[in-house]
Structure 1
Amino acid sequence: MLSRHYGAVARRTAATAAASARPVTEMTSRLPSGLTVSSVDLHGATSQLLIAYRSGTRYEPDNTPGITHVIRNNVGRDNERFYGLTLVWNSALQGANVSALITREIFAVRMGIYRDNVGIALPILGHLAVNAYKPWEVEEARETFEYDFCRRESARDELHRAAFRNGPLGKGVQAEKPSSISWQAIQRFAENHQLTEEAIVVGVNVDHDTLVNIAGSELPIKAGKSPIVSTASKYFGGDSRRQSGYPKTFVAVGGEGSSLADIKSVAAQAIAVEILLHVAQKVYPHARSVNYNYSDAGLVGVEFEAPNNSISSVSRSIFTAVKNAKADGEATKIGKAKALLKIMSAGESGAAVALDTATQILATGNNVSLAEFVEAVRNTSDNDVAKALSKASSKLSVGVHGSPQLVPYLDEL
């Protein structure tokens, strides 16, 4: 029994090693309609499909904050050709996992599927990504928002408001008043953004020609380019706080990071955030990293929560640690090793690769491969990391959700 089990493990290990030895292939095409199609083959048996639009929260009109959240929560409902139940049922018949997400850069619908079923699944995903936003369905979807609210995400939203104030990146990813957003406004937003020149189809572990053929002939995305362009966000720094009656307070603290256009600085930021996390966890082991890169700016820091009777002392200790973080030789070496581990681990996740590919191409027009980014991190010097830390700590931002009167202000340190 033992020898037979060992033989099975050995065969699986050999098969995995053979698959991992094959080079990762990446291809990107632009169709005549303006739709971008990108594939990454990690040689896995399961595929990740993703359709994304350049329509994250930064593109929201100032008078309808939260509209992208409403759009996300309407995924799975009727479009112009099919009932939502039909689309969801057929996704289930293919054994697919479907989800939708929003960031400040993109809105995306994604699907995990057995590789052999891609030809059937991708057209279904295409229809899920194009909604009719019928008035009664928009109204029904409002009932889901109370389950979406996350206090930790609220603190991150406050961090962005403090950092970028009234700029596009200062808009939150959680809708605060979804009932005030009309179905007409939602339809107008979709008509302006859910267009071929604002979209990308990404397939991980999918044959590129198959992806191109289906994207070019079977997806119902309307041709066109959005007339709306997001302005650049300037980093300011400061405090933004939200009161709530909860026994814990959630805090996010960070400083200026780098845009996706500067890969060398993004690599330095990936190491710097590990150093910030290390010094924060020395004083409070429950701290977590905060690391954002956008088309025009970035944020880097840590987040944490604590009971209200201890949040003051915890906040003061972490703020001080982040402010005084240094990039000495050993700290950079450890930070680089931790950054590389996280990057390579994410590179093994088809969902993470698909999302990263879509974000990079829609935000910058280019895609830096995993191998290229790993090399950039490896080549990052101590001086590069020191500059990233100095940039981040020179003018911090703080976001708070809970009991803000218990959290010290930055100018009190």
Structure 2
Amino acid sequence: MASKALSNPLFQYVAKRGYAGALALPAATEAKIQSCVTATNTLVASLENGSPVTRITVAFKAGSRYEPPTETGIAHLLRSAAGLTTGNASSFIIARKLAQAGASVTASGDREFLYYTLETTQANLNGAIECLHNLVSCQEFRPWEISDITPRLKYDIVSLSPQIRAIDLLHKAAYRTGLGNSLFMSPRRIGSFSSESLQHFAQTTVIPSRCAVVVVGDSQEKGLLIAQALQLPCANTEAYCKPTKYFGGEMRKEMGGDLAHVALALPGLEANNPGALALAVAAKALGSGPSTKWGADHSLLSQAIGNIGPFAAAGFNVSYSDGGLFGVVLSAPKDEVCNAVKAVAKLLKNCPLDSNSIAAGKNQLKLQVLTEAENGTALAESLAAQGLYTGSVKSPTALAHAISSISDSDVVGALQKISACKLSMGSVGNLAFVPWVDEL
């Protein structure tokens, strides 16, 4: 059978949150978020923004950090198995009904969560919700169907950009297990998971107490009906979850070529820590490339690296339920990467942010938050992640106000908390001149 990995599938399988266009809300309208927790500990949230397209995200704490040590990569397989035959409907029926309704479902995930996101018009909402229920509820994993998605798993791996590979290795170096587990299974493990192993992982993670339902473009009542209609198993055992511990270290993967791609980071702060937002501001203040197309980059990162060959560098901050990473991802010519990496490491350890840089970082972060809010799919998945992280949700406007209220001392204080910690590094490409982390 020919692989369909390069076609435009009805079900999309991605490793990061999917994106789709949405109509912007008129500026005069202030949509309010409603949220509650059901009797089964499922968080339900809704945002009625007047959009003719409704997005529904059903999220679970089923990311790669919950993989048992002997089954690393199984979260990737579960993400890719979305849309296979369940106890309620065959894969053909699910796909057929979604096509007739003009709806689509995206299965995506990160280290913490697995997201199933439905997009459909208001006129076809009820029929599309039935398909979402069939897709999420009573999942069954037939061995012959699992083997059919092998080409998709291989394509996911070979299509990874070197920057994503570097950040993936960075997590492994920093945390080893748990948050250090890769978002993608090793190529050597493709085809090694049994349907029983996948079923067990799903039955301990895809359960009501680890679930959040978010509706963007419809009412809270609709969200409650969706949550109540889900037929999810009640776990007899807890999902594997090892407490996060930051180790620091280095992972390298030699791939040749003319460039080296390096991700350097210090331990960040957890998602419910107020300092995490301050670190997000600091990451933007460090720089993320030119502000105009083909323009010059005058960021702190660019000034620190200096005049070398063509390079790209951007600050980043990721926060999880009990940890995080604050750092820089860098791509540079192999012959000049040594000085660039040393300059970035020095900048991370002694981050000289002034009030102007912090103000610019706050403005850029607010723009990112509000721009992503115009994308209904990204907004629904972001609200679901908020709910699972903290038990509550904030609107994009509230987040923008929270960013505005961050003071210079908050940013400096958050950086001081992590500056003395050990660096972690992940690198791929031509590593002949990439320094080792203990040389930085």
Shift of 1:305: 2.5
After TM superposition, give the deviation of residue 261 of structure 1 in Å.
Answer: 1.4
Say whether 1:138 aligns with 2:146: yes
**2:173 matched residue in structure 1:** 162
1:346-388 CA-to-partner distances (Å, cap 9, x unmatched) read 2222222211111122233222332332222111111111122
Regions of 4+ moved over 6 Å? none
Deviation at 1:175, TM superposition (A): 0.7
Judged with a 3 Å threshold, the aligned counterparts in structure 2 of structure 1 residues 270 and 161 are, in CA distance, closer, same or farther, namely: same
Q: 1:96 to 1:285 in 2, by over 3 A?
A: farther
Q: Which residue of structure 2 aligns with residue 361 of structure 1? A: 387
- 1:221-254 deviations in Å (ceiling 9; x for gaps): 2345752252331223221222334444322112
Q: Displacement, 1:265?
A: 0.9
Partner Cα separation in structure 2 for residue 308 and residue 179 of structure 1: 36
- Residues 342 and 361 of structure 1: CA distance in aligned 2, closer, same or farther (over 3 Å): same
In the alignment, what sits opposite 2:254?
243
Residues 1:281 and 1:94: Cα distance change in structure 2 (over 3 Å): farther
**Gap change, CA 1:311 and 1:294, over 3 Å in 2:** same
The residue identity in structure 1 corresponding to 2:433 is: L
Give 5+ residue unaligned stretches, structure 2.
1-22, 288-298
Q: 1:269 to 1:42 in 2, by over 3 A?
A: farther
Per the TM alignment, residue 271 of structure 1 is displaced from its structure 2 partner at its CA by: 0.8
Give 2:208's aligned residue.
196
Q: Which amino acid aligns with 1:55?
A: A
Cα offsets for 1:82-131 (capped at 9, x unmatched): 11122122212222232111211111111222233222212211222243
Aligned partners of 2:281 and 2:25: how far apart in 1?
31
CA contact (8 A) 1:19 1:43 kept: no
Alignment partner, residue 84 of structure 1? 91
Deviation of 1:344 after TM superposition, in Å, equals: 1.5
Check conservation: 1:196, 1:225, Cα contact below 8 A.
Answer: no
Structure 1 residues 147-226: aligned runs within 5 Å:
147-149=155-157, 150=160, 151-166=162-177, 168-176=178-186, 177-217=189-229, 219-224=230-235
Q: Deviations over 1:275-298 (max 9, x none)?
A: 222322443762233221111111
Distance 2:190 2:394 in 1: 36
- For 1:285 and 1:243, the matched residues in 2 are separated by 19
Aligned residues: 395
User: How much does 1:303 deviate?
Assistant: 1.2
- Counterparts of 1:229 and 1:39, CA distance in 2: 30
Aligned to 2:372: 346
The amino acid across from 2:424 in the alignment is: S
Alpha-carbon contact 1:161-1:240 (below 8 Å) kept: yes
Q: Once the 2 structures are TM-superposed, how far is the Cα of residue 410 of structure 1 from its aligned partner? A: 2.9
| Distance in 1 between residues matched to 2:53 and 2:211, nearest whole Å | 23
Further displaced range: 105-114 or 280-289: 280-289
Pair 118,285 (structure 1): closer, same or farther in 2 beyond 3 Å:
farther
CA distance in 1, matches of 2:52, 2:237: 36
Instruction: Return closer, same or farther for 1:340/1:157 CA change in 2, 3 Å cut-off.
Output: same
Identify which of 404, 423, 426 aligns with 1:399.
426
Offset from partner CA, 1:193-241 (integer Å, 9 cap, x none): 1111111211111111122223323x33234575225233122322122
Checking the alignment, whether the CA contact within 8 Å between 1:37 and 1:200 is kept in structure 2 is: yes
Inter-CA distance 17–31: structure 2 relative to 1 (3 Å threshold): closer
Alpha-carbon distance, 1:169 to partner: 0.9
Q: Equivalent of 1:287, from 291, 305, 313?
A: 313
Offset of residue 267 of structure 1: 1.8
Does residue 119 in structure 1 map to residue 140 in structure 2? no
- Give, in angstroms, the shift of residue 188 of structure 1: 0.8
Q: 1:289 to 1:206 in 2, by over 3 A?
A: farther
Q: Which residues in structure 2 correspond to 1:37-48 (within 5 Å)?
A: 37-48=44-55
1:327 touches 1:389 (CA, 8 Å); kept in 2? no
| CA distance in structure 1 between the aligned counterparts of 2:204 and 2:142, rounded to whole angstroms | 17
Q: Deviations over 1:110-161 (max 9, x none)?
A: 1222233222212211222243111111111122122112132221111111
Question: Structure 1 residues 281 and 226 mapped into 2: Cα distance closer, same or farther (>3 Å)?
Answer: farther
* Residue of 323, 332, 342 corresponding to 1:316: 342
SS in 2 for 1:180: coil
Identical aligned pairs, as a percentage? Answer: 28
> Are 1:272 and 2:303 matched, yes or no?
no
Cα gap change, 1:392 to 1:349, in 2 (>3 Å): farther
The residue type paired with residue 261 of structure 1 is N
1:386 counterpart residue number: 412
Counterpart residue identity of residue 399, structure 2: F
Question: Is residue 227 from structure 1 mapped to residue 232 from structure 2 by the alignment?
Answer: no
Is the partner of 1:255 in helix, strand or coil? strand
Provide the aligned C-alpha RMSD in A.
2.2
Equivalent position SS for 2:315: strand
Q: Which amino acid aligns with 2:283?
A: V
Separation (CA, whole Å) in 2 of partners of 1:317 and 1:179: 43
- Looking at structure 2, the residues matched to 21 and 223 of structure 1 have their Cα atoms a distance apart, in angstroms, of 44
Please, which runs of 5 or more residues in structure 1 have no aligned partner? 1-15
Q: Secondary structure at the match of 1:303?
A: strand
Q: Which amino acid aligns with 1:383?
A: S
